[in-house]
Structure 1
């Protein structure tokens, strides 16, 4: 299809996602929480996870407080294969399909000095971002294949783009994101015959105001401003709402100077 996109200066009305079933990992804070809230506000049923059940439940309670009851919290440690399997099994006991899987969870590790962290921190970072993504897709693939509109959305990072090195992230985070990007690339080709779209976002550092605060709408989003979570949410919503012959494999973003 034609890849030309016409952008209107008038914001589009939020898409109605009623009936869509969505799982979001790493949803207790930052962009994962933002996505869970925005999916729920648009009518989707949301299965959200965090490393601790208490953290996931806190976000689920926030969403219910907004009047959206179709939300379920789960504990899932993305560095623990048994925890990932348990998350997939638990969701499978509640639904016969999953329409969107968002691989958002990944441990952030800062530091340009390779020796600035422990071996366990390195291992946990790579396990959660790389192995965790692979195992999460494995756990949810049967539910995705039962959907008429299955999408896998991967929140990668510019750290997963070869040659880009502006992030202050630790090398282990770069390793995790590079592995995640490689997996997403081959997965997209291998799942396309089954109708599963794999959509990866490669944002630089971005502003992530609280989606329930006034700053969500007032944070500048002009040509000279840095990327915002608001715009990233719109990219995700745009991609999953496209006709099924439209496979948008990746969103890459220029960094503001």
Structure 2
């Protein structure tokens, strides 16, 4: 009897450990977008973070919120970080991920604050600069608040939005920005990730008007949690499609753990 009780207890512990190891975090389904070099997989994570997989490479954007949110995903080949704020540069999350082989593309302000163990992996891009690597191109573009001011939460030149070219598809990641001229002037954007969270970036209407100006083929509203909760992404979709039905507004749950 004693042996049976010990065996039962051991099996119960093993089952709990196995469940803990295999239970995936709450995560919405990924999307696939065709490119000239195979599908681009878009996996929303949380807030301003997304994982892109393309041509055998994995790109983490602003890894944040704990390493468990990335469980089961391939280790990154490239990490893009847009800004110094903790929901973009998150050393605790980085420390829990397998980032040893990753190239980190960052603005100088982020490079200055990266933990020492990552500095040799960092490639600094300033606004207007471009990097070709691993069969893709990465262009850094401005992201900032309006009106421009020295005490703004996001000053011009400190952070980067990014435009990636992946197999002929141009993918725009807005980072923390307002409806700036540089965003409105974008051309040929196939997929866009656009923020809308007051008081840090844009309100819903500003984001919609910016998107209507540069006309991406597909747009994902992301980074839409602000001080007063989640922005009304349904209203964003309605505003965009009332003016331009050709823009594919894709609403995904970027905050599944909160549900």
Q: TM-score, normalised by structure 2?
A: 0.38
Question: Whose helix fraction is larger, Structure 1's or Structure 2's?
Answer: 1
The structure showing larger relative contact order (alpha-carbon pairs under 8 Å, at least 6 residues apart) is: 1
Question: Whose strand fraction is larger, Structure 1's or Structure 2's?
Answer: 2
Larger radius of gyration: 2
